[in-house]
């Protein structure tokens, strides 16, 4: 079987890689979108927090022998706590100032975190082996899929759905949606918005760290692993619609797949495809595919 | 707004009742602009005070200042004995102050019932969901509808209903009759009268005289960020021309 003279193995291989990348785009964009919605601030530190998640897993394994499974739980907790502290004692002081200050602060924080890790571990990149249970190939009949990639896709989709459910269907989510729409009014109705902001920033960071742990066995654990991904995650948030949960998830997955397929059909464009799509969406639907048009 | 009939429909003796709100020399600012210039007044438990005045005079700013929603404020605002001038809005709300904002403030991304259940309970004496749906049957039928798909009247009912659920006993009602059909204003009037009779303390900003007059115990006229006249409902008749002077176009 071949499509446009391309073997189905190559096609399906790139499709899988695209889907895996899409899962990371979706998880990072989801956190960015939630934070942007409530704090009205673009979190430039998001990529660095993702990187910290991966490094925490690596460090835990090498130093204390913390297993992958424990790291999947612990790393987001530690990074989330760190981010919550950063929000409470640093970002909160910038409240009421131009949002540019928050952007500059998080940009500086990202540079500092990446610089520190770079200084300690160098730029060679470290490897993190997948856990023994997830090594090997899954034979689907028409193709062989590395078991770890299947796991990443499955767990990412579950996490994205879980976060979507939490935001759109639960009481905590209704606080978040109300705060996102009008933080002042939500607070005047008795909601502890300052605490909500701290928890939300910590949660978004935890989600990034979770993605970082998942990514560790696939990509190299590298101090700058987040900064490349972050640019695409920004594009995803813009295409999906600023602050839209569903938009971030669907767009993240779709862009990963589109990027993967571009590699098959026209490899030269693969790294720019996302941005070409972003330009078109901005021209035709400035609020994004899932965003609400506001006056 | 012109004061036509000033029949003292209500004349309740509230002397000796404790003060629940005491505002002293309140100044409020939006950015650089100084909006309130030393406002002082008190409200007793169960009393209905209506703020009258031309648009832009600072009436809504008084309510927004009490809720902590202005950029900066100075002076003293005591609520149930707690000084709140530097408290956060959510802390003020949790003292038992229910806020019904201008434009109703219904959240578009929340369903009717989510809007209703949003404000945390501050006192277990608040109305239950069943009781609220009994009082506002329209809301029961539309509980799954998104906030903005409700009609103006339904949104207004929802904005009041959601603060009744919390058990708040002090209500801040900002222009609640604005932009509603006369029939809905009438039913709103019945609702607010019921709340007054139930002993709620109410601070109201109103443009609609016919709506405000039968409900209030007292009126304060606000002009350029100051209280220029205060009167009891019983004294209204004697002062119709003075009141009209302040409110006339």
Look at residue A5 in the predicted model and tell me its pLDDT. 65
Asked if B33 reaches chain A (Cβ–Cβ under 8 Å), the answer is: no
Best of B114, B144, B168 to disrupt the A interface (most A CBs within 10 Å) is: B114
Look at residue A139 in the predicted model and tell me its pLDDT. 82
Average pLDDT, chain B: 90
In a domain, A294, yes or no: no
Best of B29, B72, B90 to disrupt the A interface (most A CBs within 10 Å) is: B90
- The alpha-carbon gap from A280 to the nearest alpha carbon of chain B, in Å, equals 27
In a domain, A295, yes or no: no
Question: SS3 for B5?
Answer: coil
What pLDDT digit, counting tens, does each position of B135-148 carry?
888 899 999 999 88
pLDDT at B8 over 50: no
Q: Among A30-39, A107-116, B6-15, which stretch is predicted with the lowest mean pLDDT?
A: B6-15
Asked if B92 reaches chain A (Cβ–Cβ under 8 Å), the answer is: yes
Asked if B162 reaches chain A (Cβ–Cβ under 8 Å), the answer is: yes
Minimum CA–CA partner of A184 in chain B:
B69
Asked if B67 reaches chain A (Cβ–Cβ under 8 Å), the answer is: yes
Map out the domains of chain B with their CATH numbers.
18-96+169-181+188-249 (3.40.50.300), 107-168 (no CATH)
pLDDT at A131 over 90: yes
What pLDDT digit, counting tens, does each position of A42-72 carry?
999 999 999 999 999 999 999 999 999 999 9
Query: With an 8 Å Cβ cutoff, are B90 and A178 in contact?
Result: no
Q: Which residues contact A198 (CB under 8 A, 6 or more apart)?
A: A84, A87, A88, A92
H-helix or E-strand spanning residue B51: strand B48-52
In a domain, A293, yes or no: no
* CATH number of residue A40's parent domain: 1.10.3470
State how far the Cα of A22 lies from the Cα of B49, in Å rounded to an integer. 58
**pLDDT, mean of residues B123-144:** 90
Look at residue A294 in the predicted model and tell me its pLDDT. 55
In a domain, A189, yes or no: yes
- Contact residues, A window 117-146, toward B, CB-based 8 Å cutoff: none
Best of A190, A191, A194, A246 to disrupt the B interface (most B CBs within 10 Å) is: A190
**pLDDT, mean of residues B185-213:** 91
In a domain, A4, yes or no: no
Report how many domains make up chain A: 1
**pLDDT, mean of residues B239-249:** 78
**pLDDT, mean of residues B155-167:** 93
**Which residue reads 């785009």 in tokens?**
A25
Asked if B167 reaches chain A (Cβ–Cβ under 8 Å), the answer is: no
**pLDDT, mean of residues B155-174:** 94
- The alpha-carbon gap from A100 to the nearest alpha carbon of chain B, in Å, equals 18
**pLDDT, mean of residues B44-54:** 93
Look at residue A49 in the predicted model and tell me its pLDDT. 98
Q: Which of B44, B53, B51, B52 is nearest to B12 (CA)?
A: B44
Look at residue A267 in the predicted model and tell me its pLDDT. 87
Query: With an 8 Å Cβ cutoff, are B92 and A186 in contact?
Result: no
What is the DSSP-derived secondary structure letter of residue A5? T
State how far the Cα of A55 lies from the Cα of A222, in Å rounded to an integer. 8
Asked if B120 reaches chain A (Cβ–Cβ under 8 Å), the answer is: yes
**Which residue reads 């259940």 in tokens?**
B117
Look at residue B1 in the predicted model and tell me its pLDDT. 54
Query: With an 8 Å Cβ cutoff, are A190 and B67 in contact?
Result: no
State how far the Cα of A159 lies from the Cα of A26, in Å rounded to an integer. 10
pLDDT at A260 over 50: yes
Confidence of residue B124 (pLDDT cuts 50, 70, 90): confident
What pLDDT digit, counting tens, does each position of A178-191 carry?
999 999 999 999 99
In a domain, A289, yes or no: no
Look at residue B6 in the predicted model and tell me its pLDDT. 47
**pLDDT, mean of residues B79-106:** 95
Domain boundaries, position A221 = 10-284
| Other C-beta atoms lying within 10 Å of the C-beta of residue A211 | 30
State how far the Cα of A153 lies from the Cα of A138, in Å rounded to an integer. 13
Q: Which residues contact B232 (CB under 8 A, 6 or more apart)?
A: B11, B217, B218, B219
**pLDDT, mean of residues B149-157:** 91
Q: Which residues contact A233 (CB under 8 A, 6 or more apart)?
A: A25, A28, A29, A32, A46, A47, A252
- Contact residues, A window 215-254, toward B, CB-based 8 Å cutoff: none
Confidence of residue B233 (pLDDT cuts 50, 70, 90): confident
Look at residue A98 in the predicted model and tell me its pLDDT. 87
B114 CB neighbours in chain A (<8 A) are 174, 177
Measure Cα distances from B208 to A238, B4, B188, B192 in Å: 45, 12, 12, 14
A177 CB neighbours in chain B (<8 A) are 107, 109-110, 114
Confidence of residue B213 (pLDDT cuts 50, 70, 90): confident
Look at residue A226 in the predicted model and tell me its pLDDT. 94
DSSP sequence for A148-215: HHHHHHHHHHHHHHHHHHHHHHSHHHHHHHHHHH-HHHHHHTT--HHHHHHHHHHHHHHHHHHHHHHH
**pLDDT, mean of residues B8-31:** 83
Q: Which of B118, B115, B112, B128 is nearest to B167 (CA)?
A: B128
State how far the Cα of A51 lies from the Cα of A212, in Å rounded to an integer. 6
């Amino acid at each position: 079987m071949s499509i446009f003279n391309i073997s189905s193995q190559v096609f399906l291989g790139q499709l899988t890689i695209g889907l895996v990348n899409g899962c990371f785009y979706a998880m990072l964009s989801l956190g960015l979108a939630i934070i942007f919605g409530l704090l009205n601030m673009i979190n430039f530190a998001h990529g660095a927090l993702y990187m910290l998640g991966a490094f925490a897993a690596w460090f835990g394994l090498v130093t204390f022998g913390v297993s992958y499974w424990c790291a999947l739980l612990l790393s987001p907790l530690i990074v989330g706590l760190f981010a919550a502290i950063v929000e409470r004692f640093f970002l909160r002081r910038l409240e009421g100032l131009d949002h540019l200050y928050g952007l500059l602060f998080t940009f500086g924080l990202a540079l500092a975190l990446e610089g520190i890790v770079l200084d300690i571990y160098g730029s060679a990149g470290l490897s993190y082996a997948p856990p023994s249970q997830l090594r090997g190939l899954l034979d689907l009949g028409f193709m062989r899929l590395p078991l770890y990639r299947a796991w990443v896709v499955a767990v990412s989709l579950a996490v994205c759905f879980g976060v979507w459910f939490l935001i759109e269907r639960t009481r905590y989510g209704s606080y978040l949606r109300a705060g996102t729409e009008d933080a002042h009014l939500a607070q005047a109705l008795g909601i502890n918005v300052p605490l909500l902001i701290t928890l939300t920033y910590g949660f978004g960071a935890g989600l990034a760290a979770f993605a970082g742990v998942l990514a560790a066995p696939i990509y190299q654990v590298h101090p700058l692993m987040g900064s490349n991904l972050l640019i695409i995650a920004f594009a995803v948030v813009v295409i999906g619609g600023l602050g839209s949960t569903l938009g971030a998830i669907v767009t993240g997955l779709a862009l990963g797949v589109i990027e993967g397929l571009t590699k098959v059909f026209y490899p030269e464009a693969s790294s720019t495809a996302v941005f070409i799509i972003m330009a078109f969406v901005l021209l035709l639907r400035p609020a994004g595919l899932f965003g609400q048009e506001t006056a | 707004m012109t004061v036509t009939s000033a029949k003292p429909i209500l004349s309740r003796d509230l002397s000796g009742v404790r003060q629940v709100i005491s505002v002293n020399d309140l100044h409020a600012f939006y950015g650089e602009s100084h909006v309130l210039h030393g406002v002082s007044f008190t409200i007793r438990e169960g009393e209905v005070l209506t703020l009258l005045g031309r648009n832009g005079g600072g009436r809504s700013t008084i309510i927004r200042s009490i809720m902590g929603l202005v950029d900066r404020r100075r002076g003293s605002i005591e609520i149930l004995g707690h000084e709140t001038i530097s408290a956060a809005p959510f802390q003020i709300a949790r003292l038992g102050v229910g806020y019904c904002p201008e434009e109703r403030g219904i959240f578009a991304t929340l369903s009717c019932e989510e809007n209703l259940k949003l404000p945390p309970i501050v006192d277990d004496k608040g109305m239950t969901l069943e009781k609220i749906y009994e009082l506002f049957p329209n809301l029961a039928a539309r509980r799954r509808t998104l906030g903005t798909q409700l009609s103006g009247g339904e949104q207004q009912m929802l904005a009041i209903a959601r603060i009744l659920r919390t058990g708040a006993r002090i209500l801040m009602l900002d222009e609640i009759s604005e932009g509603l059909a006369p029939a809905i204003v009438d039913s709103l009037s019945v609702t607010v009268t019921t709340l007054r009779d139930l002993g709620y303390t109410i601070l109201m900003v109103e443009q609609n005289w016919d709506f405000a007059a039968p409900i209030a115990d007292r009126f304060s006229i606000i002009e350029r960020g100051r209280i220029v006249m205060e009167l009891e409902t019983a004294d209204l008749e004697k002062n119709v021309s003075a009141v009209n002077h302040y409110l006339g176009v």
